[in-house]
Amino acid sequence: MHNDDASAPRTDPSTQRRLVERSLARRHGAEKRFRAAGLAAVFFGLGMVALLFASILAKGVPAFWQATVVTEVYFDPEIIKVDPRPVAQPGETPAQLHEREMAWQTQLTMANWNRIIENTLAAHLPEVTDARARARLRQLVTSGERFVLRDRVIADPALIGQRLTLKLLADANVDVWLKGNIDRSLPDSQQQLAPDVRAWADQLHERGVIQMKFNTTLFGNPDSRSSLASAGLAGAFVGSLFMMAIVILLAVPVGVASAVYLEEFAPRNRFTDLIEVNINNLAAVPSIIFGLLGAAVFINWFHMPLSAPIVGGLVLSLMTLPTVIIATRSTLQAIPPSIRQAALGIGASKVQMILHHVLPLALPGILTGAIIGVAQAIGETAPLLLIGMSAFVAAVPATPFDQSTALPVQIYLWQGNELRNFFEARTSAAIIVLLGLMLSLNALAIWLRKRFEKRW
């Protein structure tokens, strides 16, 4: 205000204007380039995501339909020669009855189910009479179907002697052949199916006996190596759900509680600084290290079962904990101090302030952090490989202590399967399921945030 007498260098107005105009062009140019670069980056990112989704969908969606033989099956009593199903005798213990039941089931398993399938298919192709050729008919149907037929009879022995229209899964190679996932012009020596089997597959497909049906086995069955067409991801899916539940029940409450303690109660000193630094370090530890820790501590020390979702869940919880703590702490830090002062000023105790005001306001942020952490854990593969979850498990786990795989591990396993042209689609289908699970979790996070968000 008082610097009239200051001898500041003055530029005369016309020069000043010329100089500013000259710099203006340069500044506008810089602005344009900056915006263009940002836009290009956005398009690059979107393009990559679009490419990823397009390739996964293009490969994976066909796997949701699978070649299926829709046919009438005759449960021929001449072939299925079994005694009547055992019923409880007076004075018999349940164990004894169970033993006889098992013997009966073994007898049923010994029946020549292949012959039943052979006869079923021969009914559609009466011209095949040669015994060897007839045996090859069986290659049309995947090998696991004989056990499916057996299980039907176990469930209902009255089926013997009846005719029933059923859907039998075609063999994986038939599915590959009919979908055109193998070059049809390859010489016989390089084809996976014999020439006559290929011809039969085409014939039956044309006549509508082999149809492309929605693939329920993919979702209902566990993995399979003997009957590839019946391989499904139910076991992996349930395993992942168990681990997700463990992470939610363990990492979220423990993480939120530690964050609340560190942020609201802990004094600021060297010790808490050390804890803070180490939490941040922990968040940066590669996930495979957590797998090693899990193998050393949970399996070697506590003797927990190998390949079990309980161990996977514990390892993933450890891995998720820092994420939840950091997200919760930053949310708590963002709660305006004025709200805390208002609560304290009116005579609320610290716990009341936290429970009544701070946590409700922090809830959307905490939920978002927790769900992102859980989603990250669900997609994690490396630590699970080290605790044996990459084992082949042909059953759906009933409890978290049963052996199981997980969705990302299943993807990894199928990706490495020898029957590439069948499992490439299956792999992508599993990726779609995993991505679907993640997207639903993220959608849930967004919905919860909107639901609990309060403005002030």
Residues at the interface with other proteins (CB under 8 A): 267-268, 336, 338-349, 352, 356-357, 361, 454-456
Strand 163-169 relative to strand 210-214: parallel, antiparallel, unpaired? unpaired
**Residue indicated by tokens 């936290």:** 354
C-beta closer to other proteins: residue 46 or 355:
355
157, 186 Cβ separation under 8 angstroms:
no
Instruction: Please give the DSSP secondary-structure letter assigned to residue 189.
Output: G
| Amino acid letter, 238 | V
Q: Please say which residue, 1 or 25, places its beta carbon nearer to other proteins.
A: 1
> 67 near 425, Cβ under 8 Å?
no
**Among candidate residues 174, 219, 162, 182, the one with its CA nearest the CA of residue 200:** 174
122 and 141 Cβ atoms separated by less than 8 Å: no
Asked if 118 and 137 touch (Cβ cutoff 8 Å), the reply is yes
Nearest to 215 by CA among 188, 175, 186, 180: 175
Helical spans, DSSP H, in 284-419: 287-294, 309-334, 337-345, 350-353, 359-378, 382-386, 407-415
- Measured N-to-C along each axis, helices 359-378 and 420-452 cross at an angle, to the nearest 10 degrees, of 180
**271 contact partners, CB below 8 Å, separation of at least 6:** none
Rounded least distance, CB 452 to other proteins, Å: 11
Tokens 């980056």, residue? 41
Nearer to other proteins, 278 or 349 (CB): 349
Q: What is the DSSP letter of 226?
A: S
Report the C-alpha gap between 35 and 29 in whole angstroms.
Answer: 10
Interatomic CA distance for residues 443 and 368, integer angstroms: 10
Beta strand segments in 78-222, E: 163-169, 210-214
Which token pair is 84? Answer: 């009547």
DSSP letters for 32-47: HHHHHHHHHHHHHHHH
Name beta bridge partners: 168: 69
* Residue 41 near residue 33 (C-beta atoms within 8 A): no
Q: Nearest approach, Cβ of 266 to other proteins (angstroms)?
A: 11
Q: Nearest Cα to 316, choosing from 398, 358, 373?
A: 373
User: What's phi and psi for 69, nearest 5 deg?
Assistant: -90, 115
Report CA torsion sign: 201, 205, 209, 213.
Answer: positive
Compute the least distance from the CB of residue 344 to other proteins, in Å.
Answer: 6
Non-local (6+) Cβ contacts of 67 within 8 A are 169, 170, 174, 175, 178, 179, 201, 205, 210, 211, 212, 229
Minimum CB–partner distance for residue 272 and other proteins (Å): 11
